[in-house]
Structure 1
Amino acid sequence: MTEPPSRLPRPDSPIAKKVFASPNHSERLINGAPPEGTGFRVPDMLILHYTGMPEAGEALNRLCSPVSEVSAHYFVFENGHVLQLVPEARRAWHAGISFWLGETDINSASIGIEIANPGHPGGMPAYPDVQIAAVIALSRDIITRWGIRADRVLAHSDVAPARKLDPGEAFPWERLNAAGVGHWVRPADVTGGRFFSPGDRGQPIEAVQAMFALYGYGISITGVYDTETEAVVTAFQRHFRPLCVDGIADTSTLTTLRDLIAARQNLITA
């Protein structure tokens, strides 16, 4: 006697062990409206998060509770075990109010991965090697299937710099890039030199703000080094210059940003 076929949903990614369904999702939108016909908006971004909670199980329960109204497509435990919470074709609720290169509905444009880690509230512990290996494998599968460009693999803090810190400066972005995930250049050495900091004003600050806006950050070009500018600089440092995260636009920060902008042109024209 043959067994009946399993009715359990299968994960979109073979890296995920099983589906652990969250009810917190909706239709992907295009310009704020559902797409016409039977298609859906194709995700072209990958956003990485940490859970920021002491226990992985507690974080998973929150992402699957209808009361919380938050979710992500995937959840990666410290031991590398991966669950899928939301189908990739659906809009998970992981990014909140966010922005990148003109896009204001990051949830509709992206796939979100939650990585179990207490984060800054828990002292920013290191991510276990086995967990990062799983994140790399999962990310590689997602970006390959959806054709997500390297510079559109981002931190939650990149798209919401005034609100979020995750996945934090301890997250090994360089290791991901070496494995083919994400955009990275060697950070310029922190050697001092000219810098800009909160309270500074004038045309040089406009130029700094314009550079960050060109790369994708949500920043107003005001000519004033305000709290928004400080938050963007800090978010950039967490991702791309993690050795020193101080919110000051020093020579190292700006040189690294310049090099990223130049390197991205090769991705765009490839």
Structure 2
Amino acid sequence: MKTFTPDSSIASDVIPSPNHGDRNNGRVADMILLHYTGMPDVEGAIAQLCTPGTDVSAHYIVLEDGRIVQSVPEAKRAWHAGVSSWAGEDDINSCSIGVEIINRGHDWGYPDFPSRQIAAVIALCRGIMLRRKIAAHRVLAHSDVAPARKKDPGEKFPWHLLANSGVGHWVQPAPIVRGETLKLGLISDDVANMQAALAKYGYNVPIHGKFDGPTMEVVTAFQRHFRPARVDGIADHSTMSTLHALLASLPADAMTTVTAAK
């Protein structure tokens, strides 16, 4: 299998994956998408990402000891996002760099991410952001772009540590307190306003005022990333306050234009 020169100077190895193609419509990467591998062992995860016919791949794989393997050149379109959407963009593979982080995930005990691994993720992402001029708010979770299907990298992933190093968008989550909540089945203007706020941030959520299943999935994804202390899909005061603080800290030209459903 043909090898290539790593894009990142901190990549310790190259294991080429045949599972990639050209980015569609001349698209360039302006997003980093973080995943966990969600498999019980390292060897199986790497084989899944680098074997012909599996139809999955990522640009980088970050091991638990901090080693970084590159499998797809950054210029190419890796197959890591699947059916996904963010800020009106449906071809996430064409606009993103995919980073798979070795972790067994929710189905296999979901261990903490080792500090060496997180340091490597930070260093890798900082280099990609610098080379490709990627904005901090365009470093996202797989669960952000595919909330109905994915949980990764999950609520244990330390986004606050990444943000302290300039990787990703973050505000201190509002404390969890007793109060009114928006939950499944509710129909109200408050629900529509929440949906509009989530859509402005980039989530693919309809704006029709009903707290339905897809809305709950998006709220859950938001909590996994930005308010991980309690992930339950219920829009409490903490969730809403954190969402509005994130929007307030986002550059105006970064917000997504939203339209209410007819």
1:44 and 2:39 matched: no
CA distance in 2, matches of 1:183, 1:160: 18
Separation of aligned partners in 1, 2:252 and 2:130: 18
Q: Is 1:189 aligned with 2:175?
A: yes
Q: Structure 1 residue 265: deviation in Å?
A: 2.0
| CA distance in structure 1 between the aligned counterparts of 2:3 and 2:97, rounded to whole angstroms | 22
1:199 aligned partner: 185
- Map of 2:201 onto structure 1: 215
CA contact (8 A) 2:31 2:96 kept: yes
Aligned to 2:93: 107
| 8 Å CA contact retained: 2:3, 2:16 | no
In structure 2, the CA distance between the partners of 1:109 and 1:8, relative to structure 1 (3 Å rule), is closer
- Tell me the distance in 1 between the aligned counterparts of 2:237 and 2:51: 45
Match in the other structure for 1:141? 127
Instruction: Please say if 1:28 is aligned against 2:23.
Output: yes
> 1:10 maps to what in 2?
5
**Aligned letter for 1:164?**
K
- Contact 1:10/1:18, CA 8 A, preserved across alignment: no
- How far has the Cα of 1:97 moved from its partner? 0.5
Q: Is the 8 A contact 2:4 2:73 kept in 1?
A: no
Give the length in aligned residue pairs: 254
Residue 178 of structure 1 is matched in structure 2 by 164
SS state at 2:21 partner = strand
Counterpart code for 2:13:
K
Aligned counterparts of 1:66 and 1:14: Cα–Cα separation in 2: 26
Give the equivalent residue in structure 2 for 1:63: 49
TM-score by length of 2: 0.94
Residue 8 of structure 1 deviates from its aligned partner by: 5.5
1:175 and 1:214 map into 2 onto residues whose CA distance is 25
SS state of the match for residue 69, structure 2? strand
Q: Does 1:156 align with 2:151?
A: no
Aligned-pair distance for 1:249?
0.5
Q: Which residue of 2 aligns with 1:98?
A: 84
Quickly say closer, same or farther: Cα 1:100–1:268, change in 2 above 3 A: closer
Superposed structure 1 runs of 4+ greater than 4 Å apart: 266-269
The one-letter code matched in structure 2 to 1:154 is L
Question: Counterpart of 1:22 in structure 2: which amino acid?
Answer: S
SS class of match (1:47) = strand
Q: Is the counterpart of residue 123 in structure 1 residue 109 in structure 2? A: yes
| Aligned-partner SS, 2:251 | helix
Aligned to 2:260: none
Alpha-carbon distance between aligned partners in 2 of 1:192 and 1:122, rounded to the nearest angstrom:
33
Asked whether the 8 Å contact 2:61–2:101 carries over to 1, the reply is yes
> CA offset at residue 266 of structure 1?
6.9
Provide, for residues 90-116 of structure 1, a one-character-per-residue CA deviation record: whole Å limited to 9, x for no partner. Answer: 000000010100100000000000000
Superposition deviation, residue 18 in structure 1: 2.2
- Which amino acid counterpart does residue 28 of structure 2 have in structure 1? V
Compute the displacement of 1:10 (Å).
1.7
Q: Secondary structure at the match of 1:83?
A: strand
| Max Rg structure | 1
Aligned residue type for 2:71: L
Task: State the SS of the aligned residue for 1:229.
Answer: helix
Task: Note the C-alpha offset of 1:223.
Answer: 1.2
CA distance in 1, matches of 2:3, 2:234: 51
Q: What letter matches 1:236 in structure 2? A: F
CA distance in 2, matches of 1:44, 1:100: 12
Q: Structure 2: how far apart are the matches of 1:94 and 1:8?
A: 20
Structure 1 CA distance, aligned partners of 2:110 and 2:215?
24
For 1:89, the equivalent position in structure 2 comes to 75
Structure 2 spans left out of the alignment, 5+ residues:
256-262
Query: Equivalent residue of 1:48, what SS?
Result: strand
Deviations 1:31-69 (A, max 9, x none): xxxx3xxxxx22000000000001011000000112210
Structure 1: give runs of 5+ residues left out of the alignment. Answer: 1-6, 36-40
Match of 1:4 in 2: none
